[in-house]
Structure 1
Amino acid sequence: MLIDGERALISDQTQLKGRLRLSLPPSLEPWWEVLSAFQQRYPDIQLQVYTSDRRIDMIEDGIDVAMRIGRITHESMVARRMLAYRHILVASPVLLARLGLPDKVADLHHYPCGAWSQDATATWQLGEEVFKADPIIATNDYAHLRSRALAGDLVTELPPFMAKEAIRNKQLVALLGKHPFPEMEINLLYPSHRHPSNLVRTYLDFAQQHIQRLM
């Protein structure tokens, strides 16, 4: 049975060929590792990856699988839920040595804040409280916010996969843990009217198995 399983795996690896067109949000670093591992497993599959924080038309743009963050209600799409997570509020020890630790959400008004935003405004849902930030910088790039937080410039929110290593290395400190951000979802989507190909099904199953270890 083991030999048969190994033969089936080798057969899958040699038979799966073609191009897979993917859409991803920017700065989703753990997924780069998933894609690398996927191509090591299936070396004859070519990936064409588009990164954008804007909604795209999967049919018009020829996308096979798109990643979306947030709940999916689009009837023309089939969603495969990958995982759920919460953002983390962080600041550097340098900033906290200067300003102290915030004890409550309202204390954030006394800190320079950076926020992910498409405009100049930002609202953070922290537990049962809503904090309306007046950010010194608003950007749609979490990597930029992480850089500024590491430099000691500001308090910001980060996805866990962009914050945990810095927290582990004591370069960043998680704040207000009793006031968590809302839960968010990562889903992989494909058009409901299109029967998923072997490439799409293999990619979805592979991603489901691997992403939990990286987040």
Structure 2
Amino acid sequence: MSVLPYFETFAAVVEKGSFTAAAEVLGVSKSVVSKQISHLERHLGVQLLQRTTRRLHLTQAGEVFSSYTQRIMSEVREAEQSVLPLQSEPQGRLRISAPESLAMSLLPEVLLDFQQRFPLLELEIHITGRFIDLVEEGIDVALRVGELEDSSLVARLLMPCGFHACASPEYLKKHGSPAHPDELSKHNCLIYSQGPQSGGWFFKDKKGKGIHTKVEGNLRSDTGNLLMSAALNGNGIFIAPTYMVASALKEGRLETILDDYAPTTTGLYAVYPYSKLVSTKVRAFVDYLVEAWGD
């Protein structure tokens, strides 16, 4: 049987939180909604919803299935809009994942201008340093630093980006500047706990050989802005992407160290699931970031 209409019913139930509200949106009776959900559960062989007298709850299977149906229905709506000239402007909800370091630096300004350019779009921003599963968590596009490993995703370069070990001039004057990564063991290191380098920092020598250095310090956090504030206040050394520390370096509030051992420059990428037809809202957002940050 064709289950696509049942996907729409299930998505409406999840969004509205009840069979009655979903029925009103879909223009059908409550009994039709209930029957379609039951047919869908039998077809899939799993229970998607737990029904109580007060409200509905998604089962674990329902949560996973919901993330897919949201994307499917979003693409269906995008397909409809793509052939309607009067609805060619990007619209609807755009779910974006971004690291906290970007959200505290470059992102706010460009989001404001982007929304002014595309007023029919509703932005939903998820701030995390984790490399999340975009499809499972219903994310349209993620902003990430580093090379792409998942071949099912598309990555578009937004800007070159390196990582820099930094400290304030006051800290370096008091404690000295390390000449080699191994000397970091004598320093207070401010550690980002969500990154791949939480257990140690990685550098490269002039020949390209990797150097792994174990670091310790009195502050560990999943909030990059907190670490940067501590570094600016002379509390220690931390590693951050170029876009996060560029202004502080230019103003002399931070100084880079171990420049001869800095990792190879990578990039800031927009990452989104592969599709033959990229949605207009994703394309508009990524094109805008390339235009804003490409230089």
Partner of 2:135: 59
* Structure with more relative contact order (C-alpha pairs < 8 Å, separation 6 or more): 1
Over 3 Å counting, the alpha-carbon distance change for 1:55 and 1:96 in structure 2 is: closer
Deviations 1:16-74 (A, max 9, x none): 33221211122212122222221122222221111122233323332221223222132
Tell me how far apart the structure 2 counterparts of residues 103 and 62 of structure 1 sit (CA, whole Å).
45
- Contact 1:122–1:135 (8 Å) recurs in 2: no
Partner of 2:149: 73
Partner of 2:286: 204
Structure 2: gaps of 5 or more residues: 1-84
Over 3 Å counting, the alpha-carbon distance change for 1:16 and 1:95 in structure 2 is: same
Which stretch shows the higher mean deviation, 124-133 or 21-30?
A: 124-133
Partner of 2:212: 130
- Contact 1:124–1:133 (8 Å) recurs in 2: no
Match for 1:115: what amino acid? Answer: I
Deviations 1:145-194 (A, max 9, x none): 10111111101111112212112222111112222123333222222146
- Contact 2:165–2:238 (8 Å) recurs in 1: yes
Matched-pair identity in %: 29
Structure 1: gaps of 5 or more residues: 1-10
Deviations 1:81-121 (A, max 9, x none): 22331111111111122122323333322221112234962
Over 3 Å counting, the alpha-carbon distance change for 1:73 and 1:118 in structure 2 is: closer
Tell me how far apart the structure 2 counterparts of residues 167 and 59 of structure 1 sit (CA, whole Å).
37
Tell me how far apart the structure 2 counterparts of residues 187 and 23 of structure 1 sit (CA, whole Å).
12
Which stretch shows the higher mean deviation, 46-55 or 149-158?
A: 46-55
The CA RMSD measured in Å over matched residues stands at 2.5
Match of 1:32 among 87, 103, 108: 108
> Is the partner of 2:155 in helix, strand or coil?
strand
Match for 2:170: what amino acid? Answer: V
TM-score by length of 1: 0.82
> Is the partner of 1:170 in helix, strand or coil?
coil
Partner of 1:20: 94
Instruction: Point out the structure with the larger helix share.
Output: 2
Which stretch shows the higher mean deviation, 142-151 or 127-136?
A: 127-136
Partner of 1:5: none
Partner of 2:269: 187
TM-score by length of 2: 0.62
> Is the partner of 1:201 in helix, strand or coil?
helix
Q: How many residues align?
A: 203
- Give yes or no for the alignment of 1:41 onto 2:111: no
- Runs of 4+ displaced beyond 4 Å: none
Tell me how far apart the structure 1 counterparts of residues 174 and 281 of structure 2 sit (CA, whole Å).
53
Over 3 Å counting, the alpha-carbon distance change for 1:138 and 1:182 in structure 2 is: farther
Partner of 1:164: 246
